[in-house]
Amino acid sequence: MGSRQFMAILRKDLIRELRTREMLVSMFLFVMLALVIFHYAFGVDEDTDLTSFTGGMLWVTFIFSALLGLNRSFAQEKDEQCLDGLLLCPVDRVTIFFAKMTGNLVFLLIIQAVSVPVFTLFFIERSYLADIGLFILVLLLADLGICTIGTLLATISMNTRARDLLLPIVFLPLIVPVLIAATSATTGIFADGADLGDLAARLGFLAAFDAVFMVAAYGTYDFAIGE
């Protein structure tokens, strides 16, 4: 994998996004609106303990917001007819995958850095500062899974006419295992502190999931991005 080419694609995607803020603004607005809706939908009675739902609320919001970004990540290449320019370059297709995936990961992490404090303010009663490192690890591993599958599927769906429709249909069923593991680990952290044994199992599952799909992407991306 060419590191200069990897950096060139990543830099290009970051500059473009920071200049237009197309993806970031839509992802951010979606997350904030979802949190406000959750706040009013579940917080009717102030005594209701929402702790057991927090992990689910958070990850469902993140997954749908990631979908918005993933849909755009290749749409730009396609709409501006730059994909041919990219494919003309002497670059391993896998390098394109890892650069695009890293870009999507960065955007998702930016959204999370802004929205997690807001979410904590709205829904979390207990301080989880002691487990913040573990929470960040859950975020990273789950995000990696979301972006790995998402980037691969966004690549496949970009050449279809109904790409906006196709991506969620194929992405959501595949991401369910990540959702279950991340929700369970996050709820545990928010509720009563991390149970290390349980959390290690969830983290191990997320890491294995990421590894499997990265290998799958590595093996199939040449075909996925082809004609």
Partner 1 sequence: MDASGRDLSDAPLEIEVDGLRKTFGRREVLRGLSFSLERGGFLVMFGPNGAGKTTTLRVLATLLTAGRGSVRVAGHDVREDPMPVRRAVGLISHSPMLYLDLTAYENLRFYADMYGLEDREERITELLERLELSHRRYDVVRTFSKGMRQRLAIARAILHRPRVLLLDEPHSGLDPRAVDILDGLLAEIREEHTFVMVTHHIEKGLELATRLMIVDGGKIVWEHGAGVARETFNAVYREHVQEGSVL
CB of 177 to partner 1, least distance (A): 34
State the residues that interact with partner 1 by CB under 8 A.
2, 4-5, 7-9, 11-12, 15-16, 19-20, 76, 80-82, 84-91, 226-227
CB of 215 to partner 1, least distance (A): 23
90/197 with CB nearer partner 1? 90
The per-residue DSSP string of 185-225 comes to: HHHHHHHH---HHHHHHHHHHHHHHHHHHHHHHHHHHHHHT
87/180 with CB nearer partner 1? 87
CB of 17 to partner 1, least distance (A): 9
CA distance 65 to 3: 29
Residue 125 CB-half CA count within 13 A? 11
In terms of Cα–Cα distance, which of 34, 86, 93, 103 is closest to 62?
34
92/195 with CB nearer partner 1? 92
In terms of Cα–Cα distance, which of 221, 6, 203 is closest to 93?
221
CB of 113 to partner 1, least distance (A): 24
77/131 with CB nearer partner 1? 77
